[in-house]
């Protein structure tokens, strides 16, 4: 049985907006695997995951990663289960690195089924064995994971829901095999046998047996990390869940099926879910095109026949003065919530808007932030942050790539904050010897002055470190709560609950982010300039002890007199600086997605006179009124954005949550305006910048050769990331062994060069040649693709049709496709090289339906399902529960099955 192929998330899957659809089979390891937490599920693994991520083992893989965060992960888990239990295929170190390459730790099931395989794949990783009393574990598991693995409703849902169709088959197969077909009968025995096996096979020096109730000390001692100054998290207990939902805790088992049902569909949760659904998807009523996450009109992407695996944004340059723009390459990293459209990752484009490098091809489509050229060991490298976004911040690491696009260093914070670098700033300093990195750390705090008196308040403490790139040593660390001027005492601009990103302060999930640090710069004297978005202020900090030397507030007259304002700013940089004067550049958002202080965002250069106590607006860089998509409204970016002053004197601006970038002369004139999507796409990019760059990738060029009828052969060739190619020389032969003859040359034109020669050429390759005539690299050999007779009507002399958005087939066409079997295929026409998957030739060329037919047909089932799940089902459940409680004299709802420990009976 062949592995199930990857499929993207449906365009109308509106009930899981946070789910991603990353194809892990295309990924690779980018961080080391440091810890294997191989205790069975229901032994505190959810709390352990949060604890490990606080300690810097971030991300930590958990069953939630597959069930609700990235359902396509289940495809690879299914591959692993098939290899282990059915003997189908292989699953080794390479596959584990694909599936888990972004993680520094793993816990929970289904990983426990592969404990020995994981220990063999990662011999340097320590092993943690969470445990608990077998009887309490059995009771907890019976009403939760066992219920889910055998739930007929989830099984039914898996037949048509994208996420459930990945999750339930994998979970059921794991559960059936691991517990030998019957959890109720074998659960305790498997538990005892598993822990006995682990104690026998893991060397004592590599193993820690641990109960989450023991807290931080034994865990931190085993992992050799400092004990953090926050309470140990407990995230999957009844009291915690009910407090978050603002419901009374049930008196029965915490995870009984009925209790879980009531928590999911109780009034508070139901209306919260309904409100989220309406807030995120009310666009159905006003513009159904926003449902279309892959609409080429909204988010255009490029297709390259030599690299069909990549999906880069297609830039649209509406203003382009070639003589006035600065030479160089444009660096940006688009991302989108929810996922869809172009691949996430770092990208490089030339001044003409042509793709140079798709980093998504190298790093598996994981979010990247702020790609830029940096100096490391006195040579140019590429630096960027890679990780997963949270609400207003991110968790990940900094990467340094050389000119072959190999990772030469992974940089992360030091001390107790190792591995939790935020994306807002990652920047090398001191000729690349150190790195400046922001960290967003959630801590408990007394917020009783703000009305939070029922328990801990929670805030985000702004932290930054300067760390040694080679050793990881912390050179300098600064924390906002250590200084009165930057403490919550001064957090008066954004109060708890003012904005979604600002947080509510009542739970660790939504801490109050009163400061929001988003940039760090360092001057020649070693002092620091930082930007606080939520205080709308810049601060100069002492290199000695971090005290505040001066503060420039954007919306008050003190302590500097000024005749302008700025607010919610990003990317503050020194341009010139001495003891009496400072010239600073920044991106003035003038908007925090809650309120605006100006008509539009802008780039801004400020002159500060410290002796006179004045600040003067020196230059502004405004957006043009007319922009791609006929947008004439003021552009007010509620998040992100940057301003880069170039060596030429021009300025380069990234417009943050708007998918635009621009270049301006020193006087502010727009000489370049480009977009990578339209306003209504939800496509964003944290920063866009321009640099000189030279690279020769380690990977080889790739090509595609095509001949419709033998009269001509058309070549398509590209080399992802190469900057020095001037032309391509093409060679051909009748066999893969040669002899080879040069058949022509073509100057490089954009990312992919197309070249046509007369006649049919069976085997070919291309040579990349620089402007000095030197051969840089040869492509791999390629056998020319020739369409069969049935496909040929859909082809011309250049290529066959590419269906970017095929319309949905009719019911009759779908029925016909389902009835296709091996006897229907002319196997003599199935090619063994260029057309490996011969069934592709049988795909009908569907005519596109009108937009309302396509999208209404996709949207209405989801809307109907939402009404049923969020309204009708809860009402029926509430009615049944009310009648039952009245009949039993107010008895609380019990679990579907509750074991009576002393009698060993099963009651309902």
Provide the strand spans (E) within 564-650.
570-577, 581-588, 602-609, 614-621, 642-645
The answer to whether 28 touches 97, Cβ cutoff 8 Å, is yes
**What are the sequence ranges of the domains in the chain?**
24-233, 316-356+554-695, 367-545, 702-783
Count of CB atoms situated within 10 Å of the CB of 409: 19
Q: Of 141, 143, 145, 123, which is closest to residue 132 (Cα–Cα)?
A: 141
pLDDT value of residue 595: 83
Cα distance from N-terminal residue to C-terminal residue, the chain: 41
Please state, in angstroms and rounded to a whole number, the distance separating the CA atoms of residues 44 and 874. Answer: 30
**CATH 1.20.120.1750 matches 24-233:** no
CATH topology of domain 702-783: Immunoglobulin-like (2.60.40)
Q: Of 907, 893, 899, 906, which is closest to residue 260 (Cα–Cα)?
A: 893
Going by the DSSP 8-state scheme, the letter that residue 267 receives in this structure is: H
Please state, in angstroms and rounded to a whole number, the distance separating the CA atoms of residues 634 and 679. Answer: 12
Provide the strand spans (E) within 589-669.
602-609, 614-621, 642-645, 651-654, 660-664
Residues whose CB falls within 8 Å of the CB of residue 563, separated by 6 or more in sequence, listed in order: 616, 617
The answer to whether 391 touches 503, Cβ cutoff 8 Å, is yes
pLDDT value of residue 817: 45
pLDDT value of residue 860: 62
pLDDT value of residue 245: 34
Q: How far is CA 333 from CA 663, 762, 860, in A?
A: 17, 39, 34
pLDDT value of residue 16: 58
Phi/psi region, residue 370 (left: phi>0; alpha: psi -120 to 50; beta: rest), is left
pTM score: 0.67
Q: Of 884, 641, 865, 893, which is closest to residue 157 (Cα–Cα)?
A: 865
The answer to whether 540 touches 584, Cβ cutoff 8 Å, is no
Q: Of 342, 407, 264, 376, which is closest to residue 877 (Cα–Cα)?
A: 264
Please state, in angstroms and rounded to a whole number, the distance separating the CA atoms of residues 377 and 136. Answer: 56
Angle at CA of residue 83, ends 81 and 84, nearest 5°: 65
| Core vs surface per residue 863-875: b (16+ CB within 10 A) or e | eeebeebbeeebe
The answer to whether 32 touches 21, Cβ cutoff 8 Å, is no
H helix and E strand count, the chain: 19, 43
The answer to whether 405 touches 721, Cβ cutoff 8 Å, is yes
Strand pairing category for 334-336 and 316-320: unpaired
Please state, in angstroms and rounded to a whole number, the distance separating the CA atoms of residues 79 and 96. Answer: 11
Which ranges of 227-345 would DSSP assign to H, the alpha helix? 238-245, 257-265, 267-281, 283-286
| pLDDT averaged per 10 residues, the chain (length 908) | 73 61 87 95 93 91 90 95 94 95 94 97 96 92 85 76 88 95 94 96 95 94 90 64 35 35 38 37 31 59 93 92 97 80 92 96 87 96 91 90 96 84 96 96 93 92 97 96 94 83 88 96 96 96 97 86 94 94 97 87 96 95 66 77 98 94 96 86 91 97 96 97 98 94 96 96 97 96 94 93 55 48 64 39 32 51 69 78 50 31 31
The answer to whether 511 touches 431, Cβ cutoff 8 Å, is no
């Amino acid at each position: 049985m062949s592995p199930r192929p990857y499929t993207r998330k449906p365009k109308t899957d509106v009930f899981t907006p946070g789910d991603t659809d990353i194809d892990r089979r295309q990924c690779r390891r980018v961080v080391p695997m440091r810890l294997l937490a191989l205790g069975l599920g229901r032994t505190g693994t959810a709390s352990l995951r949060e604890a490990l991520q606080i300690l810097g083992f971030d991300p930590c893989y958990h069953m939630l990663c597959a069930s609700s965060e990235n359902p396509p992960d289940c495809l690879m888990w299914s591959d692993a289960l098939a290899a282990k239990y059915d003997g189908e295929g292989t699953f080794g170190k390479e596959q584990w690195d694909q599936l888990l390459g972004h993680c520094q730790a793993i816990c929970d099931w289904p990983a426990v089924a592969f404990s020995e395989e994981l220990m063999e794949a990662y011999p340097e990783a320590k092993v943690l064995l969470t445990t608990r009393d077998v009887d309490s574990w059995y009771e907890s598991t019976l009403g939760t994971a066992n219920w889910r693995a055998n739930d007929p409703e989830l099984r039914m849902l898996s037949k048509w829901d994208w996420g459930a169709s990945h999750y339930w088959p994998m979970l059921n197969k794991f559960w059936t095999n691991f517990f030998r077909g019957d959890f109720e009968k074998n659960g305790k025995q498997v538990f005892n046998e598993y822990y006995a096996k682990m104690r026998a096979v893991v060397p004592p020096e590599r193993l820690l047996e641990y109960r989450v109730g023991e807290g931080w000390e034994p865990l931190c001692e085993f992992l050799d990390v400092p004990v953090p100054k926050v309470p140990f998290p407990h995230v999957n207990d009844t009291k915690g869940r009910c407090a978050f939902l603002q419901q009374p805790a049930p008196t029965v088992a915490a995870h009984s099926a009925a209790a879980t049902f009531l928590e999911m569909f109780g009034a508070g949760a139901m209306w919260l879910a309904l409100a989220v659904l309406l807030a995120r998807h009310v666009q159905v009523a006003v513009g159904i095109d926003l449902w279309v996450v892959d609409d080429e009109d909204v988010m255009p992407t490029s297709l390259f026949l030599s690299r069909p695996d990549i999906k880069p944004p297609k830039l649209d340059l509406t203003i382009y003065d070639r003589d006035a723009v600065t030479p160089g390459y444009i660096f940006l990293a688009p991302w989108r919530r929810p996922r869809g459209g172009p691949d996430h990752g770092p990208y490089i484009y030339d001044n003409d808007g042509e793709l140079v490098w798709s980093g998504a091809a190298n790093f598996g489509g994981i979010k990247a932030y702020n790609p830029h050229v940096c100096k490391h060991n006195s040579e140019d490298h590429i630096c960027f942050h890679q990780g997963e976004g949270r609400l207003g911040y991110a968790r990940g690491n900094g990467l340094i790539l050389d000119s072959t696009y190999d990772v030469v260093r992974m940089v992360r914070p030091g001390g107790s904050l190792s591995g939790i670098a935020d994306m807002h700033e990652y920047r090398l300093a001191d000729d690349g010897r150190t790195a400046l990195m922001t960290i967003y750390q959630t801590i408990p705090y007394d917020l009783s002055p703000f009305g939070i008196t029922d328990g801990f308040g929670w805030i985000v403490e702004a932290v930054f470190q300067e760390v040694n790139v080679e050793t990881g040593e912390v050179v300098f660390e600064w924390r906002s709560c250590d200084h009165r001027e930057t403490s919550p005492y001064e957090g008066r601009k954004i109060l708890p609950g003012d904005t979604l990103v600002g947080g509510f302060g009542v739970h660790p999930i939504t801490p109050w982010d009163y400061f929001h640090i988003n940039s760090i710069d360092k001057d020649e004297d070693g002092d620091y300039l930082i930007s606080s978005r939520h205080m709308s202020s810049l601060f100069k900090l002492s290199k000695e002890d971090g005290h505040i030397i001066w503060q420039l507030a954007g919306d008050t007259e003190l302590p500097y007199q000024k005749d302008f304002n700025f607010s919610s700013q990003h990317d503050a940089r020194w341009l010139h600086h001495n003891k009496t004067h400072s010239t600073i550049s920044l991106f003035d958002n003038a908007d925090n997605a809650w309120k605006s202080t100006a008509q539009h965002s802008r780039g801004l250069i400020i002159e500060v006179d410290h002796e006179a106590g004045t600040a003067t607006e020196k230059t502004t860089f405004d957006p043009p009124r007319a922009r791609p998509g006929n947008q004439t409204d003021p552009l007010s970016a509620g998040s992100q954005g940057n301003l880069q002053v170039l060596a030429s004197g021009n300025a380069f601006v990234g417009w943050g949550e708007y998918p635009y970038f621009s270049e301006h002369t020193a006087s502010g004139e727009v000489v370049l305006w480009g977009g990578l999507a339209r306003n209504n796409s939800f496509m964003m990019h944290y920063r866009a910048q321009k640099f000189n760059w030279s690279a020769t990738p380690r990977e080889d060029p790739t090509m595609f050769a095509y001949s419709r009828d033998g009269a001509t052969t058309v070549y398509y060739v590209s080399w992802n990331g190469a900057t020095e190619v001037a032309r391509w020389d093409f060679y051909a032969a009748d066999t893969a062994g040669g002899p080879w003859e040069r058949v022509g040359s073509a100057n490089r034109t954009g990312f992919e060069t197309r070249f046509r020669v007369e006649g049919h050429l069976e085997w070919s390759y291309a040579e990349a040649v620089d402007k000095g005539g030197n051969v840089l690299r040869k492509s791999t050999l390629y056998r020319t693709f020739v369409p069969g007779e049935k496909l040929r009507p859909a082809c011309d002399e250049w290529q066959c049709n590419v269906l970017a958005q095929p319309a949905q087939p009719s019911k009759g066409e779908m029925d016909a496709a389902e009835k296709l079997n091996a006897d229907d295929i002319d196997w003599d026409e199935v090619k063994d090289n260029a057309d490996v998957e011969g069934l592709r030739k049988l795909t009908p060329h569907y005519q596109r339906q009108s937009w309302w037919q396509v999208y209404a047909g996709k949207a209405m089932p989801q809307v109907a399902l939402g009404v049923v799940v969020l309204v009708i089902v809860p009402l029926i459940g509430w009615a049944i529960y009310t009648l039952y409680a009245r009949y039993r004299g107010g008895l609380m709802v019990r679990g579907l099955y509750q074991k009576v420990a002393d009698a060993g009976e099963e009651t309902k």
